Amino acid sequence: MKKIVINGGRPLKGEITISGAKNSVVALIPAIILSDDVVILDCVPDISDVASLVDIMEIMGASVKRYDDVLEIDPRGVQNKPMPYGKINSLRASYYFYGSLLGRFGEATVGLPGGCDLGPRPIDLHLKAFEAMGAKTTYEGDNMNLSTNGSRLQGAHIYMDTVSVGATINTMLAAVKAQGRTVIENAAREPEIIDVATLLNNMGAHIRGAGTDMITIDGVESLHGTRHQVIPDRIEAGTYIAMAAAVGQGIRINNVLYEHLEGFIAKLEEMGVHMTVSEDSIYVEEQTNLKAVNIKTAPYPGFATDLQQPITPLLLKAEGRGTLIDTIYEKRVNHVFELAKMNADISTTNDHIFYKGGNPLHGASVRATDLRAGAALVIAGLMAEGRTEITSVEFILRGYSNIIEKLRNLGADIELIED
């Protein structure tokens, strides 16, 4: 067991560099299974989800080399065999193996995915797409079996009943080697989808329309190796921007793509946060006189659900009352109860979050209930007077690369302790 200990109330300053996108790389690694040669990824974040995916790839027979932030994967030795349940159950993004294995072998046996408990996140849309392309689904215990019974997947016209990043990417993975054309309507538009499509196209796929609500994929016989740079992590960037506004005395966030954060930054500007946006960085000034705002999450390019929790501690510094409504994951409210332990004036009713800013936060013993809730507690711990201990930090380490080192470089009194 590990815990993070923070002695808060210290102003921070300096620079911080954003790592590659967690929500991209967890799809890019399974996508490499579709290649007939070596694929190299640059700017790979040092997070536990990547370590788990690498372990799974090696168990399947891939050869993997890692040096600094570079990941080199040779998938030619991959064999179609059941995924290790413990590894699969540890991360939600394991479902991307469905599409890549179906695309390469025409079948897949995979344990049901795990990850953070944010309420129902059904994979019905994924299965509907696979079945439209000719795959059949059966269940054996904790495993799900997908198979085309020896046939090649067939292109299909697929309408997503709801906008889903995971289902959009998984359908692309399955479709790139399918026979004929696949059209995805009501597709998600997130930057991570464009990143995955860029990798696949660089491998020889024919994908058009990524980043719009209609994606067209013309199937190909084979894909080749390539080198690809992972886009910056917009959620990590938003987390540190919120942190900088909450406790910073001038912090520059490097390796940021502003266009990926427009909805988030617009809300910060409404609060009165002063920032200077440059080509690939954002400088956040020391803040005063922030005002409360109401936030409702929405699919991209709206306010990202993954930034709902990290912005909450900053809201507690603002004057006035406001609400937070998460329309993507309605049950994403567990951080509220932990922040209340730190003297926050915050509550939840019918999955809506209500807060009043202005109460000084006090250090406390709290628990990270999921990845982004953990990030919120780290920011709150930096803001609070006294000592904060955060347990269940394995969630945080799933998605924030070198978080302890990055915050220490800004002047934070923070350490990761083996309990």
Active site residues: 116
| 23 in a labelled binding site | yes
Cα–Cα distances in angstroms (integers) from residue 114 to residues 89, 91, 94, 395, in the given order: 4, 5, 8, 12
Residue 384 near residue 363, CB atoms below 8 Å: yes
Question: Contact 229/42 with Cβ under 8 angstroms?
Answer: yes
Q: How far apart are CA 308 and CA 373, in angstroms?
A: 9
Crossing angle for the helix pair 165-175 and 191-202, to the nearest 10 degrees: 10
Say which amino acid occupies 31: A
Residue 124's H or E segment, with its range, is: helix 124-132
CA–CA separation, 9 and 380 (whole Å): 10
Q: Which of 129, 117, 243 is nearest to 186 (CA)?
A: 129
111-114 long-range contacts (CB < 8 A, ≥24 apart) are 111/82, 111/83, 111/84, 111/85, 111/142, 111/143, 111/144, 112/88, 112/142, 112/143, 112/144, 113/88, 113/89, 114/88, 114/89, 114/90
Q: Is 125 annotated as a binding residue?
A: yes
At residue 189, φ and ψ (nearest 5 deg) are: -120, 10
328 is in an annotated binding site: yes
Q: Is there a binding annotation on residue 161?
A: no
Distance CA 56, CA 83 (A): 7
Catalogue the E-assigned strands of 186-341: 206-208, 214-218, 226-229, 248-254, 275-277, 281-284, 295-296, 321-325
> What phi and psi values does residue 398 have, to the nearest 5 degrees?
-65, -30
In Å, how far from its chain's centre is CA 332?
15
Ligand-binding annotation for 121, yes or no, is yes
Check whether 45 is labelled as a binding-site residue.
Answer: no
List residues forming the annotated binding site for UDP-N-acetyl-alpha-D-glucosamine. 92, 121-125, 306, 328
In the annotated binding site for phosphoenolpyruvate, the residues are 22-23
Question: Which residues carry a binding-site annotation?
Answer: 22-23, 92, 121-125, 306, 328
